[in-house]
């Protein structure tokens, strides 16, 4: 392995870091041309770097850049405090030993209970390097061309699909905990704090009057048995901005109706509506530990292009000072 040294990021490293970032973004597109075109020239990369957050660079003996890593502290209801490196938050130069990551990681990340990084789904070498640092898969981010997805699906007896409308607030509020309650159980064991459930209930009620979103309800008679919400997407952290993409953001079927074709029917309706609205691409994401969503979305035609990896520090490590 080449000898290298680690330095705190400073503006004098801005140019080589922006160049390496642009290169990494171009490589991403070369390996995964499915992504809608974004901007990957060094000036875009330079703008990404304008966001202040702690970072480090690894330099070879001749001063050339081997890699960089940025991470920032975030705090929210579900995750609590976590240190996160975004999709554009790290890169290694071609041919650089992935073990350089261990030094970059150990310098930037600290004693915070959750560590998160984003890694291209096809980059087995990088995934392997992060797995060796104690990380595991948590979230898959996927994309599909709407033209490649089915816009018609077999009917489900006595189930109709329609757009949500003003007056559907209670129906939507009632459907709001479906994903969270499923994912609070085995084998996802995600948190679903009461305050979070209250917040999403309010958000779901608002979908009834959201003029921008495509909100679909599946009804058996008067009873709602499933829903999906699709939102226009102006940017994606990995490759925005763009104008022709939509995000299939949330969707669920009530437990007793799963596996009967409701989700497939909702998705086909959504595809048809999104195509009519002029969208060409659709993004979605799922917890890799959720066995229902992680088999359902790929079966519909979504291909993962990015993973979020997580490492949780033990209480012992956190107590250590
Ligand atoms: C993921 C989810 C939305 C799928 O909805 P669903 O209504 O169960 O989906 P469907 O019944 O259309 O399809 C589920 C599977 O059953 C199959 N299926 C559909 N009708 C069937 C039938 N009559 N007989 C046998 N299998 C059938 C489908 O082909 C599908 O398998 P595939 O994905 O391998 O193609 C649902 O499982 C759910 O609500 N999960 C909990 C919440 C959640 O995880 N939401 C997603 C968050 S990202």
User: What average pLDDT does the structure give for the chain?
Assistant: 91
Q: 263 and 236, same structural domain?
A: yes
Q: Per-residue confidence at 204, pLDDT binned at 50, 70, 90?
A: very high
Q: β-strands 281-287, 245-253: how paired?
A: parallel
Looking at the structure of the chain, the number of domains it has is 2
CATH of the domain at 50: 3.40.630.30
Identify whether residues 161 and 281 lie together within a single domain. Answer: yes
Q: Do residues 164 and 228 share a domain?
A: yes
67 lines ligand 1 (CB under 6 A): no
Q: Which atom of ligand 1 is nearest to the CA of 296?
A: 33
Residue 263 Cα to ligand 1 middle (Å): 5
Based on the domain organization, do 160 and 290 belong to the same domain? yes
242 with 291, same domain: the answer is yes
Which residues lie across from 307 on neighbouring strands? 119, 140
CA 92 to each of CA 14, 49, 58, 64: distance values in angstroms, whole numbers, following the listed order: 15, 16, 9, 12
Ligand 1 center–CA 212 separation, angstroms: 26
Q: Cα(77) to centroid of ligand 1, in Å?
A: 28
**Does ligand 1 lie within 6 Å of residue 288's CB atom?**
no
Within-domain flag for 145: no
Any ligand 1 atom below 6 A from CB of 260: yes
CA angle 280-284-287, nearest 5°?
Answer: 165
Check if 252 has its Cβ closer than 6 Å to any atom of ligand 1.
yes
Do 155 and 251 sit in the same domain of this protein?
yes
User: Are residues 110 and 22 both part of a single domain?
Assistant: yes
Q: Are residues 154 and 280 in the same domain?
A: yes
Query: Is 50's pLDDT higher than 90?
Result: no
The mean per-residue pLDDT over the stretch 276-284 comes to 94
Find out whether the beta carbon of 291 lies less than 6 Å from any atom of ligand 1.
Answer: no
144 in a structural domain: no
Q: To test the ligand 1 pocket, which listed residue (217, 224, 261) has its Cβ within 8 A of the most ligand atoms? A: 261
Residue 83 has pLDDT above 90, yes or no: yes
**Given its phi and psi angles, is residue 253 left (phi above 0), alpha (psi -120 to 50 degrees) or beta?**
beta
Q: Mean per-residue pLDDT for 141-150?
A: 95
Ligand 1 proximity of 283 Cβ (cutoff 6 Å): no
**Do both 35 and 54 map to the same domain?**
yes
Judge whether residue 269 has pLDDT over 90.
yes
Same domain assignment for residues 177 and 156: yes
| Domain membership flag for residue 15 | yes
If asked whether residues 275 and 255 sit together in one domain, one would say yes
Least confidently predicted of 97-111, 143-157, 273-287:
97-111
Is the Cβ–Cβ distance between 153 and 146 less than 8 Å?
no
Q: What is the DSSP string of 145-203?
A: EGGGS-S-----TTEEEEE--TT-HHHHHHHTTHHHHHHHSTTT-----HHHHHHHHHH
Alpha-carbon span 180 to 178, nearest angstrom:
6
Give yes or no: residues 81 and 210 share one domain.
Answer: no
Give the distance (Å) from ligand 1 centre to CA of residue 210.
26
Closest CA to 18 of 56, 53, 45, 58: 45
Task: State whether the beta carbon of 290 lies less than 6 angstroms from ligand 1.
Answer: yes
Of the listed ranges 35-39, 49-53, 77-81, the least confidently predicted one is 35-39
The answer to whether residues 26 and 96 touch, using CB atoms and an 8 Å cutoff, is no
Residue nearest (by alpha carbon) to ligand 1 atom 10: 261
Q: What is the pLDDT of residues 224-258, one digit of tens each?
A: 999 999 999 876 656 555 678 899 999 999 999 99
Q: Whose CA is nearest to atom 18 of ligand 1?
A: 259
Enclosing domain of residue 213: 150-300
């Amino acid at each position: 392995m080449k000898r290298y040294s680690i330095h705190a990021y400073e503006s004098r490293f801005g140019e080589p870091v922006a160049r390496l970032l642009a290169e990494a973004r171009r490589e991403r597109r070369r390996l995964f041309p499915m992504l809608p075109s974004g901007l990957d020239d060094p000036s875009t990369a330079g703008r990404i770097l304008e966001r202040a957050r702690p970072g480090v660079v690894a330099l070879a003996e001749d001063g050339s850049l081997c890699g960089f890593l940025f991470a920032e502290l975030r705090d929210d209801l579900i995750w609590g405090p976590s240190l996160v490196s975004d999709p554009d938050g790290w890169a290694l130069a071609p041919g650089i030993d992935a073990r350089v990551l261990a030094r970059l990681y150990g310098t930037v990340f600290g004693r915070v209970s959750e560590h998160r990084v984003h890694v291209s789904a096809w980059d087995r070498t990088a995934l392997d390097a992060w797995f060796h640092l104690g990380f595991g898969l948590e979230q898959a981010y996927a994309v599909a061309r709407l033209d490649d997805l089915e816009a018609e699906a077999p009917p489900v007896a006595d189930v109709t699909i329609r757009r949500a409308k003003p007056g559907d607030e209670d129906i939507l509020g009632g459907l709001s905990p479906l994903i969270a309650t499923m994912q609070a159980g085995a084998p996802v064991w995600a948190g679903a704090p009461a305050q979070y459930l209250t917040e999403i209930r309010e958000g779901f009620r608002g979908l009834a009057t959201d003029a921008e979103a495509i909100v679909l309800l599946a009804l058996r008679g008067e009873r709602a048995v499933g829903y999906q919400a699709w939102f226009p997407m102006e940017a994606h952290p990995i490759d925005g901005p763009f104008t022709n993409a939509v995000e299939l953001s949330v969707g669920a079927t009530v437990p007793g109706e799963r596996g009967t074709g409701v989700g497939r029917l909702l998705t086909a309706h959504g595809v048809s509506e999104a195509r009519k609205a002029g969208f060409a691409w659709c993004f979605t994401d799922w917890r890799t530990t959720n066995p229902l969503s992680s088999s359902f979305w790929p079966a519909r035609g979504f291909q993962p292009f990015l993973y979020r990896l997580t490492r949780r520090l033990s209480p012992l490590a956190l107590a250590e000072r």
